Amino acid sequence: MLEIKGLTARVEEKEILKGIDLVVPPGEVHAIMGPNGSGKSTLSYVLSGREGYEVTGGTATFEGHDLLALEPEARAALGVFLAFQYPVELPGVNNANFLRTALNAQRRLRGEAELDAVQFLKLARQATKKLSMPDDMLKRNVNVGFSGGEKKRNEILQMAILQPRLAILDETDSGLDIDALKIVSEGVNAQRGPNFSALVITHYQRLLDHIVPDRVHVLAHGRIIRSGGPELAHELEASGYASVIAEAA
């Protein structure tokens, strides 16, 4: 489903990704772990097409489409979704309108009928309920005045509404207390199935107790230096990144 080969990219003239090879088959959830500054967010931005991140080599295909050649909107319409590490506040933009506009833009690009306000609200209320989010979070401006945990929940609300085929979750667990972590994890697990894949970026093994990954990859200095099963996350938790990095070198 997602196939990345020899991907290199730079930001502001600085080479950050130094040759990423990664395959995420349909239906699988892969975790990416790694120290701060290793390029995890950069990888997620490059895959979603954020401006300012220049691909200098390699390929990334999603269901046979050359992702890197597509505009961010076209990637989203294919079902690629990024939950930001630092969700952006949008003053003056109503959360429900924002979500409906995003959903309908994708439906339009896919040739599907758009949802009217009533249809959308029904869908959105079901999603907020599942995520134990108060309904007023739909009425408020996007992320404005939201706590760190509420912002992360709002990213998962977006995911629940947009129903992506590939979700990239960039440190969605940071800022969540244990209860919120469970709810967010249930939100991700609810999406799991043969047509859903995810890249779950996290520092902590604790998230992976709730979202049990099929594979775990360690990203360090712009390269995947080791891959393994869920037990690799436990090993990292116990021994830290340094020993794995030293071993790879």
User: What are the beta bridge partners of residue 22?
Assistant: 4
Nearer to ligand ADP, 187 or 222 (CB): 222
Residues 141-180 that bind ligand ADP (CB under 6 A): none
- Round to whole Å and give the CA distance between 53 and 32: 19
Nearer to Mg ion, 127 or 220 (CB): 220
Stretch that binds ligand ADP, among 39-47, 59-67, 157-165, 234-242 (CB under 6 A): 39-47
Residue 39 contacts ligand ADP per CB under 6 A: yes
Selection from Mg ion, ligand ADP, none that 14 binds (CB < 5 to 8 A by kind) is: ligand ADP
Per residue in 72-86, is it b (16+ CB within 10 Å) or e — as a string?
eeebbbbbbbbbbbe
The binding track of 10-29 with respect to ligand ADP, each residue x by CB under 6 A or -, is -xx-x-x-------------
* CA-based nearest residue to 178, from 201, 206, 203, 158: 206
- Round to whole Å and give the CA distance between 202 and 35: 10
Residue type, 224: I
Applying CB under 6 A, among 7, 31, 38, 131 the residue interacting with ligand ADP is 38
Residues 41-80 that bind ligand ADP (CB under 6 A): 41-42
Applying CB under 6 A, among 30, 40, 75, 151 the residue interacting with ligand ADP is 40
Cβ at position 219, least distance to ligand ADP in Å: 7
The residue to which tokens 């520092």 are assigned: 203
Cβ at position 171, least distance to ligand ADP in Å: 8
Selection from Mg ion, ligand ADP, none that 38 binds (CB < 5 to 8 A by kind) is: ligand ADP
Selection from Mg ion, ligand ADP, none that 226 binds (CB < 5 to 8 A by kind) is: none
Concatenating the DSSP letter of every residue in 9-73 gives EEETTEEEEEEEEEEE-TT-EEEEE--TTSSHHHHHHHHHT-TTEEEEEEEEEETTEEGGGS-HH
* CA-based nearest residue to 173, from 157, 151, 191: 151
How many Å separate Cα 209 from the centre of its chain?
18
Residues that bind ligand ADP (CB under 6 A): 11-12, 14, 16, 34, 36-42
